[in-house]
Structure 1
Amino acid sequence: MKNILLICGSGASSGFMAAAIRKAAKKAGIEVSVKASSESQLDDRIDTTDILLIGPHLSYMVDDLKKEVGDRSIKIAVIPQAIYGSLNGPKALELIQQMEG
């Protein structure tokens, strides 16, 4: 099972996105763990994360987050605004699957 962490500024909007991804994964029969968090909690969760998804409003932080991840084998992507803004769980799940392949 892949452990996915979504981060946004406060953790609120990513909570809705995480729920949409969990729902889409369940419907597709895909087993994932999707947690939402604020970017300030990344240190506490980084060692149990396989994929780090970033809210589009935090795209300016990608380089800093890559440095924080360091040499861990964590894949990082910014969720496109069109997916994040509409809470499109199936499209976000597609993004995750593309990252894995």
Structure 2
Amino acid sequence: MHRTAAIVCGAGVSSTFLARAVRDLASANGLDWQIEPLAEDQVANRADSLGLVLVGHHLAHRCDDLRLVVASSGVPVVVLDSDDLTAAAHQSVTLLQSHDAERADRANRLSKGNPHG
């Protein structure tokens, strides 16, 4: 099942390059995620279709606002630690893997009738 992660970097060009790098790296690691570059003002309209929002380091000061925008959808919003493309792509894939592991763990607990662990 495809899940979608948004890459929000603000200027458009940087999010497109980062999205491409994350898409390639995620695919190479066998992850089934669609990666989309989005402008900040597009996140609200897409919140219900997103599994994760990854925010460029230079927009860390906007993270709380983005969290408010997606709060009703329960979408996690994470600020990337680096503006370096390679480092940000690797961190993004690690976050996607963690998100998958958490979902699998939650599904496993629910199937055993223990939703809280």
TM-score by length of 1: 0.86
Q: CA deviation at 1:16?
A: 0.8
2:74 aligns to what SS in structure 1?
A: coil
Match of 2:80 in 1: 79
**The structure with more radius of gyration:** 2
Hey, what does 2:60 align to over in structure 1?
59
Q: 1:94 & 1:13 partners in 2: Cα distance?
A: 20
Instruction: Write out aligned runs for 1:38-49 (5 A).
Output: 38-49=39-50
Structure 2 gaps of 5+ residues are 103-117
* TM-score, length of structure 2 as denominator length: 0.75
**One-letter identity of the residue aligned with 2:42:** Q
Q: Distance in 2 between matches of 1:90 and 1:57?
A: 17
- The share of aligned pairs that are identical, in percent, is 26
Q: Report how far residue 99 of structure 1 moved.
A: 3.7
Gaps of 5+ in 1: none
CA–CA distance in 2 between the matches of 1:56 and 1:66? 15
Higher RCO (C-alpha 8 Å, min separation 6): 1
Q: CA RMSD in A?
A: 1.6
Distance 1:59 1:29, change over 3 A: same
User: Deviation digits for residues 22-80 of structure 1, max 9, x if unmatched?
Assistant: 10111111111000011122223222111001011110011111111122120110011
